[in-house]
Amino acid sequence: MKAVLLLPLLLVLCSGNVVKNDNERDQDWWETTIFYQIYPRSFADSDGDGIGDLNGITSKLGYLKELGVGAVWLSPMFQSPMYDFGYDISDFYAVHDEYGTMEDFENLIAAANELGIKLVLDLVPNHTSNESVWFQEALNGNEKYYNYFVWEDAVIDENGDRQPPNNWRSHFRGSAWEWRDEVGQYYLHQFVVGQPDLNYRNPEVVEEMKNIIRFWLDKGIAGFRVDAVNCLFEVDKNLFGGKYPDEPLSGNLDVHPDSHDYLSHIYTKDQNETYYMVYEFRDVFDEFTAKDGLTRVMMTEVYASIQDVMRYYGEGDLLGAQIPFNFDLITDVDASSSANDIKYTIDKFMTYKPVDKEANWVVGNHDNKRMATRYGPSLVDGMNMIVLLLPGVGVTYMGEELGMVDGYVSWEDTVDPSGCNTNDPINYADSSRDPCRTPFQWNAEKNSGFSTADKTWLPVADGYETLNVEAQKAAERSHYKVYQALAKLRQDKVFRYGRYDSVAFNKDVFVFRRWYNDETYLVVVNMRDTDYEIDLTYFENVIGDVSVVLRSIQSPKNEGDVFNASSVPVVGYEGIVLKL
């Protein structure tokens, strides 16, 4: 009786299809690569004006290739008066003159393609610049363009003075409304005054944005990172008698009353309509994929609840972003976090993620403190191991491969509106994003090899004389070399198809396992400066010896060292990749 029942089961287990892990499938280019973010103003300056540019990037593509990066996402390089350093676009169809010309851009794509590096641009759909033709035309009374923006009448207070329509606040402090005499109304700007919000309830705006997407996809780019996309729609004011309602207080009393976090953004963020707009944008991407077979990727920039972030993947038959940025390793954890916190944060994304979609891992960008600053320089290799060896897409902000830290930028040198608008020469640095945007560190020469100018747009961070590409390439062991090895290792089937589980062995030591068929790797990251001995046989099927494949630069181990899985010594802040 039993044998009869077991036989079909055995047959199933032994048939190739089932024993072979069934998630081995063709993977698309974006699923296995690393996306490397370049902030164009700070990467490489080719013409000596102290400002990075496109030709600078082109000249460094070989570096990226050698590093093992397969795709670059570029912060905006479109024409801009630079009130928000390129996120205020005055001409969506042109290259910013400090960064080069359209020809330079075409050269950049051609050179990247030649090396097999895909280029992804930054789409900024929520707003334009107040110096754009569209906004200028709106001020001139052109109705078509008036309707591109969000206008509202003033409120007259008891003294007869003009006041903004409601309490909505800009991300960069103060009212989100700015008065224009020419129109006799206020316009909405969720970001700086120079970034008037576009009106997504106007189909002509939607069509215009789709044409912008088409224009750049036509030039051969592989997709877009989509900026501030959860701000696209404001609540429908017709539901409130034709007036935009006040937002409630967040209850967060630690923040300045003028700051964005003082309010709870129930009317200006995460509106239901936004998701459907993203799915419509995705259809435009897919028009191009249908033509030439190359998948165009969408990466959405949204800081929101995990449930809301997941909606960007799509819903039912409606497709959204392949890569809704997972910012949890930026927002939920830092140097003070325990191994348990790290595990919990990683599991959070894995738990909510649709089972048929890829995860992604991000530890830094041009809006947040650098990874090595947030986690501490000792954890650079450990964090890169996490980003590059977990299942899914790895994203790197330029300099993370070197462990670049935030630079000091004095109040006088501060240019980021988020810092300047604090009007606070003492505490501005808490809000300023300049420190994570200081020039890339190429070598120990003038301006870290970034530029030959006498003054660069932001000062180079201290310590560049020893922390730079050239030094790390020359050193026997360096973050650069660990990163390069990780980029290679992640091409292995185990990391492409393998399953994942993890354990916080104690409050300090986080370990994850990747396995595929009979291959198993264990990645150990010690978050603290305490030594331990850990018993990896805690993981099911982990017994016998493990050997060191890679280790962080402070590790006393050597590649090839063998340990018994039941007692692996781990020193402070050590990161180790072990193979069973």
Lookup: tokens for 368? 């947040």
- Contacts of residue 213, Cβ cutoff 8 Å, sequence gap at least 6: 123, 224, 281, 284, 285
Among the listed residues 28, 315, 367, 413, the single contact to ligand GLC using CB under 6 A = 367
Find which of Mg ion, ligand GLC, none residue 49 binds, CB within 5 to 8 Å per kind: Mg ion
Q: By CB under 5 A, name the binding residues for Mg ion.
A: 45, 47, 49, 51, 53
Q: Which is nearer to ligand GLC, 124 or 198 (CB)?
A: 124
Find which of Mg ion, ligand GLC, none residue 191 binds, CB within 5 to 8 Å per kind: ligand GLC
Count the Cβ atoms, other than its own, within 10 Å of residue 349. Answer: 22
Count the Cβ atoms, other than its own, within 10 Å of residue 381. Answer: 29
Q: Which is nearer to ligand GLC, 15 or 305 (CB)?
A: 305
Q: Please, which of residues 194-223 interact with ligand GLC by CB under 6 A?
A: none
Find which of Mg ion, ligand GLC, none residue 124 binds, CB within 5 to 8 Å per kind: ligand GLC
Q: Which is nearer to ligand GLC, 124 or 576 (CB)?
A: 124
Q: Please, which of residues 534-553 interact with ligand GLC by CB under 6 A?
A: none
Q: Which is nearer to Mg ion, 101 or 250 (CB)?
A: 101
Q: Please, which of residues 79-98 interact with ligand GLC by CB under 6 A?
A: 84, 87
Contact 188, 115 (CB under 8 A): no
Q: Which is nearer to ligand GLC, 131 or 367 (CB)?
A: 367
**Min. distance of Cβ 50 from Mg ion in angstroms?**
7
Q: What angle do CA 322, 236, 180 make, to 5 degrees?
A: 100
Contact 147, 183 (CB under 8 A): no
Q: Which is nearer to ligand GLC, 128 or 456 (CB)?
A: 128
Find which of ligand GLC, Mg ion, none residue 84 binds, CB within 5 to 8 Å per kind: ligand GLC
Tell me how far apart the terminal alpha carbons of the chain are, to the nearest angstrom.
Answer: 39
**Min. distance of Cβ 35 from Mg ion in angstroms?**
24
Q: Determine if 191 is a binding residue for ligand GLC (CB under 6 A).
A: yes
- Contacts of residue 211, Cβ cutoff 8 Å, sequence gap at least 6: none
Given 234, 301, 381, 400, the catalytic residue: 301
Residue 521 β-bridge partners: 514, 579
Q: Please, which of residues 228-247 interact with ligand GLC by CB under 6 A?
A: 228
| 78-79 and 91-95 beta bridge pairing | antiparallel
**Min. distance of Cβ 278 from Mg ion in angstroms?**
34
Among the listed residues 53, 197, 227, 381, the single contact to ligand GLC using CB under 6 A = 227
Q: Which of 289, 303, 296, 278 is nearest to 224 (CA)?
A: 296
Q: Determine if 145 is a binding residue for ligand GLC (CB under 6 A).
A: no
- Contacts of residue 287, Cβ cutoff 8 Å, sequence gap at least 6: 214
Given 45, 227, 234, 416, the catalytic residue: 227
Q: Which is nearer to Mg ion, 82 or 298 (CB)?
A: 82
Q: Which is nearer to ligand GLC, 227 or 400 (CB)?
A: 227
Find which of ligand GLC, Mg ion, none residue 53 binds, CB within 5 to 8 Å per kind: Mg ion
**Min. distance of Cβ 124 from ligand GLC in angstroms?**
6
Residue 563 β-bridge partners: 546
**Min. distance of Cβ 156 from ligand GLC in angstroms?**
31
Find which of Mg ion, ligand GLC, none residue 227 binds, CB within 5 to 8 Å per kind: ligand GLC
Contact 398, 425 (CB under 8 A): no
Q: Which of 143, 151, 147, 162 is nearest to 242 (CA)?
A: 151
Find which of ligand GLC, Mg ion, none residue 367 binds, CB within 5 to 8 Å per kind: ligand GLC
**Min. distance of Cβ 47 from Mg ion in angstroms?**
4
DSSP state of 53: -
Count the Cβ atoms, other than its own, within 10 Å of residue 182. Answer: 10
Residue 138 DSSP SS3: helix
Half-sphere exposure of 223 (CA within 13 A, CB side): 26
**Min. distance of Cβ 101 from Mg ion in angstroms?**
12
Q: Determine if 124 is a binding residue for ligand GLC (CB under 6 A).
A: yes
Lookup: tokens for 331? 């927002």
Q: Which is nearer to ligand GLC, 124 or 469 (CB)?
A: 124
Q: Which residue is nearest to Mg ion (CB)?
A: 53
Give me the amino acid identity at 189.
H
DSSP state of 169: B
Distance, CA of 30 to CA of 312 (rounded, Å)? 17
# residues near ligand GLC by CB under 6 A: 9
Q: Determine if 47 is a binding residue for ligand GLC (CB under 6 A).
A: no
Contact 197, 272 (CB under 8 A): no
Lookup: tokens for 183? 């129109």
Active site residue 301: yes
Find which of Mg ion, ligand GLC, none residue 45 binds, CB within 5 to 8 Å per kind: Mg ion
**Min. distance of Cβ 126 from ligand GLC in angstroms?**
7
What is the H or E stretch that residue 186 is in? Answer: strand 185-188
**Min. distance of Cβ 41 from ligand GLC in angstroms?**
11
Compute φ and ψ for 288, nearest 5 degrees.
Answer: -75, -40
CA-to-CA dists, residue 502 to 310, 510, 515, 573, 575, angstroms: 22, 7, 12, 18, 15
**Min. distance of Cβ 60 from Mg ion in angstroms?**
13
Across the beta sheet with 34-38, the strand order is 323-324, 297-300, 223-226, 118-123, 71-74, 34-38, 393-397, 360-362
Active site residue 227: yes
Find which of ligand GLC, Mg ion, none residue 280 binds, CB within 5 to 8 Å per kind: none
Q: Which residue is nearest to ligand GLC (CB)?
A: 87
Distance, CA of 41 to CA of 360 (rounded, Å)? 26
Find which of Mg ion, ligand GLC, none residue 508 binds, CB within 5 to 8 Å per kind: none
Window 276-315: contact mask with ligand GLC (x via CB under 6 A): -------------------------x--------------
Contact 551, 563 (CB under 8 A): no
Q: Which is nearer to ligand GLC, 198 or 467 (CB)?
A: 198
Helices H, strands E: what count in the chain?
A: 19, 25
* Binding positions for ligand GLC, rule: CB under 6 A: 84, 87, 124, 191, 227-228, 301, 366-367
Residues labelled as active-site residues? 227, 301
